[in-house]
Structure 1
């Protein structure tokens, strides 16, 4: 396959569904080779097959990026198989909503470990490779919850505000190495993210809120990501906020 990303190699975390899956398909449609990363091996295998049947190139890596060693190994394996890592899409995430008082604090740790530390671990693993290449692009998926904190989403928002801060510092540290950094902040998107909310009151609140909107599709976010990573090398799209019209 040929396109604007021909010869480029991308690593996409959280690739088994939603924004990650749509982004992997969009990147391969532009000619990129993609390392598909998530915990659900069966989903990854099915996505890999879809890509290869369309003439694309992909490998599936089942891993938990909240584990630092696994995050490191993912990036190293992609580099070993494809010979480089040009694009890292830090998309893996989890959203557990609910009030602070009475919360299951294990869910707090899970969100911090996946949404924030996992993103940091993968970035830490990719930076030496990109510096040695003299080029690279790191795309961090945050949320509009990283722009405005609301009741029922305190810790989820805290992780996404953290992603924003980390991303800006990352950009300032690495532009001299010709590494581009982009922050993507989606609003309401129709994905499986809300399906895993365990607090029944918070889940009902989230569903009721979503019903008042016409949510975006994962493809809408993938299009924004492809836009950012296909700009000329001297152009760094720092931040993209993508909301439904009625949000």
Structure 2
């Protein structure tokens, strides 16, 4: 079994193939972390691991597949010595009018956004507790404010928020828990929406987004760099011109 290098922490990032996940991998690597890049799109995370060139690894895993996460955790333990940080970032935003026609979208969001984070945390928790770790859950402004057409997405994010607060109380002092709630960020999240009219409307906001994934990643890196006696439990951030 590999031993953890004293000068290098290990971060596991789900949904690491693009957006906030990939940006955070770059930010943490710059601080000396080795990264376990978890995502479904293997070609992207392999390219990112090669770019980082610091012993980081690419692990193809879908957060809705517990067996894949268990295998990923075993590989992280064997090759990197275990995880110090787990960032639950994987998710999807399938907005649209509520109807039976979109029931598969609802299931997909619940399984990825909420159950995926819960399962990843359950699988990696023992590693996080070994020496004191950090759990970073990526939520959303939608975890505070629901709107028409985002009901199930908001439900998953409200769920993440409540679950994170429970874990915060339960896991101290072994694991610090931080909830990150971004507003609109310049990512490809809106492109996943299956309802055409909703996708076109939402995409306009994302096309005009002024907050970049790198700016969110900088905040996450700052949070993780605080001394162990200090916990930044919650960060809500929006573009300056976003009202809701």
TM surpasses 0.5: yes
Please say if 1:237 is aligned against 2:225: no
Is the CA contact 1:140–1:184 (under 8 Å) kept in the aligned structure 2? yes
SS, match of residue 235 in structure 2: strand
Residue number in structure 1 paired with 2:132: 135
Residue number in structure 1 paired with 2:188: 192
The within-5 A match list for 1:103-118 is 103-118=101-116
Residue number in structure 2 paired with 1:25: 26
Question: How big is the shift at 1:68?
Answer: 1.5
Selected match of 1:215 from 210, 221, 224? 210
Selected match of 2:149 from 152, 155, 170? 152
Please say if 1:47 is aligned against 2:55: no
| Cα distance in 1 for residues equivalent to 2:138 and 2:177 | 11
Give per-residue Cα distances to partners, 1:17-48, cap 9 Å, x unaligned: 00000000111010001000000011011111
Question: How big is the shift at 1:65?
Answer: 1.1
Residue number in structure 2 paired with 1:16: 17
Is the CA contact 2:86–2:128 (under 8 Å) kept in the aligned structure 1? no
Please say if 1:69 is aligned against 2:67: yes
Please say if 1:36 is aligned against 2:65: no
Selected match of 1:100 from 98, 105, 122? 98
Residue number in structure 2 paired with 1:91: 89
| Cα distance in 1 for residues equivalent to 2:69 and 2:145 | 29
Task: List alignment gaps of at least 5 residues for structure 2.
Answer: 1-5
Is the CA contact 1:72–1:121 (under 8 Å) kept in the aligned structure 2? no
Question: How big is the shift at 1:210?
Answer: 4.0
| Cα distance in 2 for residues equivalent to 1:156 and 1:103 | 16
Aligned residue pairs, count: 237
Task: List alignment gaps of at least 5 residues for structure 1.
Answer: none
Give per-residue Cα distances to partners, 1:118-174, cap 9 Å, x unaligned: 10011001112222x230100000010111000110111100111101111111100
Q: TM-score, normalised by structure 2?
A: 0.93
Runs of 4+ in 1 over 4 A off after TM superposition: none
SS, match of residue 104 in structure 1: helix
| Cα distance in 1 for residues equivalent to 2:147 and 2:100 | 17
| Cα distance in 2 for residues equivalent to 1:101 and 1:47 | 38
| Cα distance in 1 for residues equivalent to 2:205 and 2:22 | 25
Residue number in structure 1 paired with 2:3: none
